[in-house]
Every structure is written in structure tokens, then in C-alpha cells.
Structure 1
């Protein structure tokens, strides 16, 4: 499993629980700083660090006699494709690997397959960017071609803002400690955005869970994700059908994927895709909502493909309605306490809290996923209860929610 870090340890554990032996492969010599918590290497039968010599890494992995090579995260997608293909194992292949990571190539590949894709520009010149934005009109999105977690994603209302975003992103370092060598500008899609999590086996696809985004513009950030609402898969058949077509276009035949799709008045349109497990604890909350997640379906896809084939079209369940609320700090400093957290805990649908910044630690002003102070999980059999409680969390989450040390 390539690039297993803290967010995807549950996937490694799911394979261990199924009786598999897991060897960890690290695609870079140094781990990306964004992964502050590293997995316990004791859970793995080995740890192979890729130093850039593919032949050496292939030989080191081959020595374990693997049945599968899969990615454990976004940064491991391409190396997992290379290793699985070179070793003759189930693989998505390398022909379309770049399109599974590069956001510009991704949309062009989807467009070439005859699917709706966002209008976009690979930015190479500031004046061309100005002219393109003026032609598109309104708001556009400028972002790195490779990253994740909303890192570097900038919403720009004017051509001058687009150029400023381009200058800021190009040459900067992304959350994976990689230099941003290219920037893409895309039209701003208006509609309802969904996260569609899937698992594939030999070209058969299963939508395991779907989440509808709630957004707000705060702290100078447009469309900051305030939370996600579990959405019954059968409620959005057009989004699911389009998502499966995107997987086919990107050559995804095996493994988990995370698709962000905007449902617009003109139909679904891809925002971006990650051909790996969805992070952020999604699997836990997916199982809470519908009794299934990417974890067990990924294990079946690789270890029990016949079982996957028999079950992948079975009806979906709704066990509870679930919301995860992402809190947004408007202040920065050393955190003393969350004085209103007990009021959140008292809400009827409160399920769990996930604290990212603890008292005594430095609290940043929230501008993206990596600067979220905490996440609140809500769950209840009645959808209206979680909707009301989500609004209560939003109401409480302001300057008064954070006591900063004087």
C-alpha cells in the first residue's frame, strides 16, 4: 500500500482484519509535513521507501510476492499505478495516471470522452489569463494542478484577482511539500456540490456514500465548506451515472475514488477527482449513515472480487441522517478553551467531536481544510433534527466559541 499515513490507516487495518499482510511503500524520502501523525510501522510487514529509482523499488516490493499494490493516498496514486502495472497485478494502468492527478488533464480527459467538463485554461501567461477571465465573465477559480484539501484554491471575481492568485500559487509549496509548477483557471460552477465516494472492481462501480456540501463565505474565503450532509445514493441518480462515466473516462477499473461533482442547471459537471480513499473520517460516518463505506467495499474489490460482482448493484440503506460540521475560527492565537462546546454536546443529534486544535496549542484563523480547529459529527433518525442542529452549530461557531490567551 503506497503512502499510508494517518488518514488512511483504517484502510490498511481493514485489509489486516481480512487476513492480509500489508507492506507499506513511501513514495518520497521525506513524509509530507501535512501528515503530522505517522502510522505505527509495527502494523506493516515491511516499509519500502522510494528514493526515485523505480527499478530498485519494484525489486524491493516484488521480494514480498505481493498479490496487490494499491494507493493509500493522493500522493501514492502514480507510483501505485506504476508498480501494479509493472508487476502484472490488478491495475488502473499508467496510460491515464497523469489525468488522475493533474486537474487540467483530468477535465480534458473527461471532455474528450464526450462528458460535460468545466471550461478551463492552463495558465502560462498573465495577459492570456486576464483575457480569458474577461471572456468568461463573473467569478473563476484559480488553483494548483496538483494538490488536495482545497489547498491553494482561490475564487477570483476580477481578472486582476486571477492574476494575483496565479502569482501567489506558481512556485509556492503545496500541502504535500511539492512545488506548484503549474496553475489552472476554471469557470466557477453554480449549483449543488456533491462528494461521491466509490469503489471499483474490474470496471464495475459501486457508489458507497454521497455527501452534499453546505458552504459559506467567511474569513475572506469564498465557498468555505461548512459541512456535509449524508445523501441517499438513490436520490441523485444523474449524479451517480455521470460519476461512473467519469471513472470510465479516467480509466478507473480498480479501487476507491472520491469525486466532487457539481449538479448545475445544465446537468452534472466534474469539479475534480481523487482516485483514492476519501479522507476526513468519511468512512466512519458513511457506515453510520448507510451501513457501508469505502473500506469494506475496497477489501471486497481486491480480495473477494466475486462477492463484489454479486453485490455491487444491491439497494442502498438509510440508517441515520448524518452531518459533519467543519468549524471555522475567525480568530488566531493560543487557544485557552472552547467555552461553548458543551452547548454543542447538548444538541439532540450530537454524536462525536474531532478536535484538531487543543487548548494550549496555536489556533490559526481558518482558511482551508488544514486549518480547521475541530469537526462535529451529528446523527439522528430524523433528517430535520440534524439540519436544525447544524444551524445551531453554525450559530455558536463565532468569535465567542474560541477563548484566546491574552
Structure 2
């Protein structure tokens, strides 16, 4: 196939992974038994409006009420469930108002009611209710530190749970004994349920774990009140067994992407769904694996598509960064490591349609990416050093732009060796 056909194949593979994570396609089969009373919906995350829409379509004969909160611009049309909007990835006053609304809704539940929690990635900032010893300014400051810290998503969410009045299962306690069922779309490496949106309805087993190393990583600008609270032994939560169902995961998206590749005559290999670490380091590592496949037929002979999922990180230093996200940073590092090796193409994108805080899901590289960049007067190494990968791919017209997809199973990456 020619270059244009190859690029179209990569876009189709990414689209197939995103489609598998669409809750409107899969949610109905995961619903619990219908309640005798009302179904009170609460929820937070990039997919929660689409999930709410799917619940209403599946249960037209059930008395449904409630609300979900999504990032600005991620709404969907619903009949009885209110769709609220708040800020992501840093919370705002609407995040606090949404959390208070969810607590109020859960507390209204009667014994015959069902509290149905619709939780997906992004909910940590959208559903924010600080511990009484903190204020919103403290939470915003901590969130900004977390986003540039280089910590894994699990470590970030451990901090968020310690500072929250709703995370770590606390929101479920507001239901006061009514049945609570949580439907989850995972954006977390390993699919740990208490880490998805920091687990508002799923208690975490790590409340007593020492996190001094995480505190040290956040540095001296950590707000005093937050630092004091993080250093205290956390108060134990009343124990309860969470009822939750995973309706979409990174692995499911990777398997759907694999099928699209297989139909095109390409051998797919899933390297893992929980890749973490620095995005640029991951790009260099994956270049080595792709080169091995090209030269030695290991781990498979071409044509082969090397797929991976998970969430890498980008550590921002004291310098003013350019425009970028973890997927475009991964790809730029990959291109630099490959140095134009023939017959190797790649894509990487966030399944929510937003790489970092930019308006693209990710991008695509081809064997001539570096050559085209030089022709355009761009310096890829300098742009990688200042985290300006989005700008490079934007100028090369190689971005993947989907708009908000209304779901999120984290990143999807594929390296095609022909």
C-alpha cells in the first residue's frame, strides 16, 4: 500500500479502538437488575454524559433522575439526567458545585432505590470537594503540581483521595445503605477501580500507605494545609464491598484495534495495556522494538502492528513549555530515534480526543516526518526539549483531530512495520 493508504489504515485502527469504548454501544449489557423504586444517577468523567444517555435508552420504563458532570464541551442530550459541566484537568467552582449535587442526590436514596454511578476518566477534577481543612485554591494548586510532576496516574490519585471529601468511596457513603452500583470506563493502567476518577464510589485499599516520596516529588510549593494533611495518617473509611462493572477498558480497545489490523492483512501484537513512564523514553524504547521487527523479524515479521495502551507522563521543568501532549511527545521521540527508517509508520492518541490540553487526540509519523520538518524550517530536537511537539505536527498537518469522543480508555498507540 502507498503512504496515503497506510495513513488511512492507521487512522482506521485508532478509530476502531475508540468506537469499542463508546458506552452507547456496550453499556446496556452491564446494567444491574431494575430497581423497585427510582434509579438515581450520579456520575463524573469524560464519558459520563454518553453513559447517562445510554442508561435512559436502555431503561425507558424506569423512573430515572440524577446528574452527571463532564468537561466543558463534552455534553450529550439526555431527558431526565442533568448534564453539568466543569473544568478539566484543573478543577473550578463548578467542580465543587457538581460534587455537592452528587452528595445531595445520593443522600436522597430510599431502600428501594438504586444509586447508579457512571464513572470514567477525568472525574478527579470534575468532582472536587476538598477536605474541610482545605479550600478550592489549595486543591487547584495541588492539581497543577500533580500535572507537571511526572508522577503516575495512580500516585496522583492517591494524593487526590487523601485531600478529598468525596473520593476514595466517600461519595457512596452518602447513599446511607441504599444499593449503589458503579459502571466504570477505565483510563487507568491495570484497571484498578479505585483509581478511575479517584474512586468516588469505590474504596481504596491503600489508605495507610506511606506517601512521603510522593509528597517530596511535589516540592516546596505544595500548599501548607495540603502538605500537613498528606503527612497525617488518614482516617479509615467504614468498610463496604463495592458493586462495580467495567464496561470498557484499554484492553478492549486494543483488541478492537487488533481486529481492524488483522482484516487488513497485518499481524497485530499487543505489547501491553498499561505502559507508563516518561513519554519521550517510551518513544525511544518503542523505536528499538520496531527496528528489531524490521531488521530481525522479532517480535514478529513484517507486516506487523505493535500496539500498546496506558498513560505515559511528561515532566515539565522550570522552563516555559511549548504546546504538546504525552502522545505527540511520544511520537516525536519515536521519530527522532527511528531517524527516517523506511517502512515504519506510527500513530498515538488519547481516546478522549484531547492529548493533554490541546485540540487534537494525537498524531501520525511517517518515514519522512523528520525530512518534512527540516523542509518546513523546524528543529525537532529543540521542539522536543521544550515540549512543543503539538506545534511540529500541527505545521506538518499530521495531527489526529476527532473532537471530544465522549469516552476515555486512555492512550492508544500503534507502530506499523511494513
What is the TM-score of this pair, normalised by structure 2? Answer: 0.26
Instruction: Specify which structure has the bigger relative contact order, considering alpha-carbon pairs within 8 angstroms and separated by 6 or more residues.
Output: 2
**Greater strand percent: which structure?**
1
